[in-house]
Amino acid sequence: MKGKMNLNVILFMGTLLVFFLLNIFHSDDEVVTNLENRSLAQKPPFTWKSLFSGQYVQDYEHYFSDQFIFRHSFISYGKTLNGLRGFSGEDEVTLVVTNGNNMHESLDSEVIPVFSSTGSETTEVRGHIVSTDVGVQTIEEINDINMGGNLVGINSGNNLQVNSESIADADENSQVNFGTNADQIQGELDGELENEIETGEELDKNAIHEVEEAGEEKEAGNEVSNNDNEQHTEEESQLQGSYLVVGNQAVFVYYYNPSAAEQYANALNAFSARVGNDVNIYNLVVPTAIQYLNNEKYRKMAPSQAKAIEYVNQNLNEHIQSIYAYERLEQHKNEYIYFRTDHHWTALGAYYAYTAFIEQIGKSPVPLEQYEESDNGTFLGSTYNATLNGNLENDPDKLIYYKPNLEYTYRLSYGGDLITMALYHPNQWGYRFFLAGDPSWATIQTEQEGESILIIKDSYANAMVPFLIPHYKAIYIVDGRHYTGNVYELMKENDINNVLFLNSSTVTSHPGYTRVLEEKLELQ
């Protein structure tokens, strides 16, 4: 018996030693993981200051986690095991709570595609990349379902299989409350999520940024409620990083934070006051896919985004015109308006939002049949990368787009000079096909006469911008997360008197993106 214990100890210690040595001598660090569609942490530079502050140890832990030997293999094995767990019924639902997913890169940790004058693509890394673990490698079943609507037993960092019938047995009018303390995650979010994207000073790309600190007091008398009943608590808001997989679709679980929604409205009001009444300002907030999920009992796991958006609109001053795109999307919710494996909307969904915008400003939209519909193949997007769900893998999204029938020139900048680029870039993967990703700023010059428009946006705008080409002489596109210029000088130099704020509903969940806007637009 003693010999067997000694053998177990030797095997255990030997395994640790082998992996320790492999990681020590493994020097071929990856920059980007295609499997997870995100940047990987790089070895942090050593300084005495960072060591004594604790930052160096924290960054090195992130680096070690991201560059662990055979990491992708372990993730793939976890995905395979995940497919063997849970319930195999037609209505099976998977809830994935990630811990530290930086699928939506932060401002200073993004991988930037750099294009040559011929349009060929290279890759460089801006800044020091620090990321955290993607918590989808372990599996744990839910231990308890509270039939009063509380779903408990969820730990951050776990991939969890949920019996859909158990959730369905909960009160249909109850908000499903996740008892978790999932950590903040970084993209749109489309996008984005689109977005993780994570933050405050640094934020995520597709609209997923930071959560408010637990315990922060909510606004009294808020008009928006969860499923007509109650508001999200701060604890519920910390579900950031949760994905719901229903059949062949994965959606980010939206949560609502009234203080974040009000802060976004206040930022737009401050911008309006800064530029004056001679500038037409429009606000279009795009709901995420869970708002239109074709399954009512699971759609109720998140509060109404329409009401959250309306709360933003109610707090805007009279000089800002609200665009009710969510109503138009509701009319077409049974169509392919959102990707199933990505957090962004499709070009078709963006088209319907475009029609709402153009009609509200008194113009006529171009009928969809007048565009040339094209197919750029299939892809697996951000929500697949976050969940690694087999149902999604077996049924990838189609990338359909609509070519404008007008002459135009598209130029973009990732921090340097503007270069001419294809509006739909064939070398870009997935949703980054639109506008060649998320440049810091870009312009579209057309042969139209008339006005120009500035779009201040996150990645959700990328699929909608091309539809605006027939209506403006010039379109200026600024991504507030990356733009380093002066927006007011840009408006003055190019005689811009129309501004459209086009962002996803994550601005009503957390204030990270808004804080960046406040800083970049000098609204503080």
* Per-residue pLDDT reduced to its tens digit, 187-237: 333 333 333 333 333 333 333 233 233 233 333 333 443 333 334 444 444
Give the model's confidence band at 5: pLDDT under 50 very low, under 70 low, under 90 confident, else very high: confident
Task: Identify whether 269 is part of a domain.
Answer: no
Q: Specify whether 55 is located in the same domain as 11.
A: no
Q: Specify whether 229 is located in the same domain as 173.
A: yes
Count CA within 13 A, CB hemisphere, residue 185: 35
Task: Identify whether 333 is part of a domain.
Answer: no
- Looking at residues 17-41, what average pLDDT do you find? 66
Task: Identify whether 337 is part of a domain.
Answer: no
Give the rounded distance of the alpha carbon of 373 from its chain centre.
26
> Of 177, 210, 237, which residue constitutes the final position of a domain?
237
Q: Please check the confidence at residue 402 and state whether its pLDDT lies above 70.
A: yes
Give me the pLDDT at residue 76, please. 67
Nearest-angstrom CA–CA distance, 113 and 209: 22
Q: Specify whether 173 is located in the same domain as 214.
A: yes
Cβ atoms of residues 278 and 317 within 8 Å: no
Q: Specify whether 11 is located in the same domain as 140.
A: no
> Of 237, 258, 287, which residue constitutes the final position of a domain?
237
Q: Please check the confidence at residue 156 and state whether its pLDDT lies above 60.
A: no
Q: Specify whether 187 is located in the same domain as 153.
A: yes
Task: Identify whether 312 is part of a domain.
Answer: no
Q: What is the pLDDT of residues 242-301, one digit of tens each?
A: 899 999 999 999 999 999 999 999 999 999 999 999 999 999 999 999 999 998 888 988
Q: Specify whether 56 is located in the same domain as 147.
A: yes
SS3 string, 258-289, reads HHHHHHHHHHHHHHHHHHCCCCEEEEEEECCH
- Looking at residues 418-435, what average pLDDT do you find? 90
Which of 10-14, 343-347, 434-438 tops mean pLDDT?
A: 343-347
Give me the pLDDT at residue 14, please. 83
**Closest among 491, 492, 497 to 478, alpha carbons compared:** 491
Please give the residue range of the domain that contains residue 207.
Answer: 29-68+90-237
Task: Identify whether 228 is part of a domain.
Answer: yes
Task: Identify whether 120 is part of a domain.
Answer: yes
Q: Specify whether 23 is located in the same domain as 60.
A: no
Q: Kindly state the percentage of the chain with pLDDT values over 70.
A: 65
Q: Please check the confidence at residue 325 and state whether its pLDDT lies above 90.
A: yes
Give the rounded distance of the alpha carbon of 357 from its chain centre.
22
Q: Specify whether 121 is located in the same domain as 205.
A: yes
Give the model's confidence band at 36: pLDDT under 50 very low, under 70 low, under 90 confident, else very high: low
Query: Residue 390: which H helix or E strand, with range?
Result: helix 390-393
**Closest among 282, 284, 234 to 259, alpha carbons compared:** 234
Give me the pLDDT at residue 182, please. 29
Q: Please check the confidence at residue 513 and state whether its pLDDT lies above 90.
A: yes
pTM above 0.85, yes or no: no
Task: Identify whether 211 is part of a domain.
Answer: yes
> Of 237, 267, 292, which residue constitutes the final position of a domain?
237
Q: Specify whether 2 is located in the same domain as 52.
A: no
- Number of structural domains in the chain: 2
Q: Specify whether 52 is located in the same domain as 17.
A: no
Nearest-angstrom CA–CA distance, 366 and 20: 61
- Determine the 3-state secondary structure of 411 from DSSP: strand
Task: Identify whether 42 is part of a domain.
Answer: yes
- Looking at residues 299-305, what average pLDDT do you find? 92
Q: Specify whether 23 is located in the same domain as 136.
A: no
Give me the pLDDT at residue 30, please. 66
Q: Specify whether 7 is located in the same domain as 94.
A: no
